[in-house]
Amino acid sequence: MPLDHYVTLGRSGLRVSPFALGAMTFGEDPGGAGCSVEESEKILATYLDLGGNFIDTANFYTNGHSERILGDWFAARPGKREHVVLASKFFTNLFPGDPNGGGAGRSSIIAQLDETLRRLRTDYLDLYWLHNWDRHTPIEETLRTLDDLVRAGKIRYIGFSNTPAWFTAQAQTTALLKGWTPLIALQVEYSLLARTVEGELAPLALDQGMALVPWSPLKNGFLSGKYRRGTQVTNSARTPFVGHPSDDEFEVIEAVATVAGELGTTSAAVSLAWLRARQGTVVPIVGARRVEHLEDNVAGLEVTLTPEHLRTLDAVSAPALNYPAPLHGALRAMLQFAGTTVDGETSGVYPPLVQSNVRY
């Protein structure tokens, strides 16, 4: 499955590549985990040459340099920008001392978008993400502002990232009831080492027809194949920031490596293939600091995991979910169906009911 075998992003008419290109690493300021302008442009060109069309950035990535690199590249190649899906995010305040420089209020959204469009050297975004929950702004204000921007042609679609499920559900319901632009996707942390999204947000997305767009699908590189128990990783710029895997994480890492060995591929490819096999539309964001990183990740599109591989990986990475998620599996089926089969789901019988056929 190559990058030019597109999928529809949620309940929309927007077609995107099965992997998005994350531009968080584009630019070398601030910090030290990014890459040069030259390498960023090589990564971008390689992704597009392979058929990719979905590029994700944010206003604060490398202090705005990520957006500028993308804007300069497309400006130098007239006609290319119109054929990609360009996404960015708002929320982060880039102006210390200004309480209205960030967040999700009307004035700040408009100002942040204007700055993003200036850096990207374009007059519209295909997708605009709320990057975090602004608990100080009414959701009606945020949604109405985003809807106004859609109607003005400055953005085309909207999505949320890193927001609670109850808040996301409230926002989607409000938008639908008021006839405003609804959410089509959720950008969330999701990987074999980060599955708590399956408690609330993933079921919400599936129910509402939203796509999931996972960030850090290799969990800070832990699932890339370079981490081994008892060894130190010295060739990763992110290691000083993210540390090393725990013993429990190594259990998952080693299971992934075993599956990769059986299939003759890489741990990164297996980890990305597992995400693609989840329910609904899942479009992982792959990041890279070098072209070869991108090429290794794209190999995940060529991997198909067997049902046995999926069961193995599901079991070893099973998350501990918060209440009430533990009550929604086998116990729910026993209490609800009492030993019958409904919609293909066969339940057991809750023990206290086994001997009871009495109707009171």
The pair phi, psi for residue 31, each rounded to 5°, is: 80, -165
* Prior bond of 319 cis (ω within 30°): no
What counts of helices (H) and strands (E) characterise the chain? 12, 12
- For residue 209, the SS3 value is coil
**CB neighbour burial string for 248-264, b if at least 16 within 10 angstroms, e if fewer:** ebbebbebbbbbbeebe
C-alpha to C-alpha distance for 64 and 270, rounded to whole angstroms: 32
Q: Under a CB-based contact definition with an 8 Å cutoff, are residues 333 and 345 in contact?
A: yes
Residue position matching structure tokens 């490819």: 269
Catalytic residue among 6, 47, 61, 323: 61
Whether 360 is catalytic = no
Q: Under a CB-based contact definition with an 8 Å cutoff, are residues 201 and 186 in contact?
A: yes
Q: What is the H or E stretch that residue 113 is in?
A: helix 106-120
> Residue 325: CB partners within 8 Å, gap ≥ 6?
198, 199, 200
- For residue 306, the SS3 value is coil
Nearest alpha-carbon partner for 211 in 172, 185, 183: 185
- For residue 265, the SS3 value is coil
Kindly list the catalytic residues: 61
